[in-house]
Chains A and B, each alone.
Chain A
């Protein structure tokens, strides 16, 4: 079947809602309105207001409600309209969801998913465009999933909803309309398994989210100049498939890491540090890190596209390795 990234996310929720009556959705305008980006459209009509629940605009209570209900037998899938709004719910995510299991000696499971769109590119300015994945990967107790294709969005969201731990599920808003063929009867995709998006021999580019597409574009350009680029998409940021990354580095001996976050303190830095610590002997050159400029995301299109990295930045970065 042919579907968009957005439809794939919806389909994963539909499958899980059908499979388990304890799965329910909650969030701002996720009901008849269909969600701010339309991801939940139609689910309210199909499953009703008990399973697809509009909430007041109270991000803390949305996540808190997910936690309390997950601790008592349900499997909530909460939508936060933008990852920027997660900051309003940070106590619930960081101090409660992530830590409850540990603090009580493993006796309470929290099977919950918090979905949130992220990323720039729609001139939504500084409070609706950030990429805050590093805020979540930093916190033990959370799993962080960041799919880039419709097939992965479907399979990884199914897995996330079936997981017994809190999962942050990141959806880049510019990927929503990407369309692809998805095999029938798709199975859940395990977390922690990276995907090689393009095989290559000269340099490894590790990219997340929309940067995967920028990296593929860069790889195409570079192939014309005789540079063979391997593009690795981790798909889940935690657990991270270090093995796949390290194997590729051992093969190419050169690494560029591309993420859309502000470069300072980003998860790209963590991946780079991991490679530097554990694969130093494989490296023929310093690791190159590509990220957004360390500014808030500006509104005006010319400014926004200047701040966010693109395929040309990756091309330029790769060339410094040779």
Chain B
């Protein structure tokens, strides 16, 4: 009977507690971000990184051995320590790091990931594969790579070069060198079979197809914080949408986050955040370069005057209607920058020199993507411009890229992947070999400066515009992003 007397106050207390709980701060719902891809998550692979959405997915789901901090400093990634011992780079793995299902991540995972990249190939990987694996590149995971080994029972990964490579740690910050847990890779096909057990701050919790997937925070990860978004879900962008309509999706409540890869003009995002106090905007340093590259066919078809004319008109068009954009005179403004005389010469060429109408049929890629609202203007001086494809070889293309790399080797390697420099693949490989062999950085800078000048003065590539990357987040999310790189590492967001 005495228990009966306790029941009413207990019931009242429970009601009160429930009321307080209901009124208290609720857990943030998952972060919804606009994503212009409906590809399944199985599409994304660190060994194949091209587009902004590739970087977005991989930088959130995988971690490299070494990273850049929010202050743009080289810091520990999955490797707690990274140092040189003679000609050996030694990476001491973070103890206690696991996938969401509790699988430890160690140096064997890092070794497998790098060897896998070497097997799958690519220019980035070739730079390290030769020095580490010698003349017999591995064809399968069981093949030896003498310069790559694991010591101390899986705690340390060693990359043995003959000499120190000061660019290496910077180079390894590239998400292409992300660590993939060995249990998530099919050892035969090398395909990533499990995107739940990943090395990054997030793992994929489901993929229902059609671009409907979700990533959730891995509490075992060294970047995990209860203040970061605990779950994030893409809202697929299924059709071409104007920038203003994309931005409207934020106040309409359809998305919470707009990545730097969509509605890419920083001026529009800055204006939106200024007009809408419920949002924060992150703007990087101006590290996004938009440029036109003339292909081998274009170099033959178009005279230098025509190439510089096209470049000058495109610079003029692009800068006329867009805020927060600069007109760059060169591509590598810090490392490999042109000399004063070279810069003066290039500026003269970039001026274009008079009006011209190029009446020949010219094929190009990605022009509409960048100049979709300038077609009338283009028609006046390039009346027979057509989209390349269908058997027609492109004469030029427009592209953009992040030039905020902290090290020259990474930057050069990135541009080597496209037809940026007027060199054949063999010439590129030879130049890169010579470049990496230069012991002093100043010697490398001289080589890069020379290549840089040749590229610009020949009209092979012409810089069009330089601007920042910008992202928008609904409050209370605030940014803690590096300023010298583009990208959207959602795990760096924090509650205000």
Question: Do A and B interact with each other, yes or no?
Answer: no
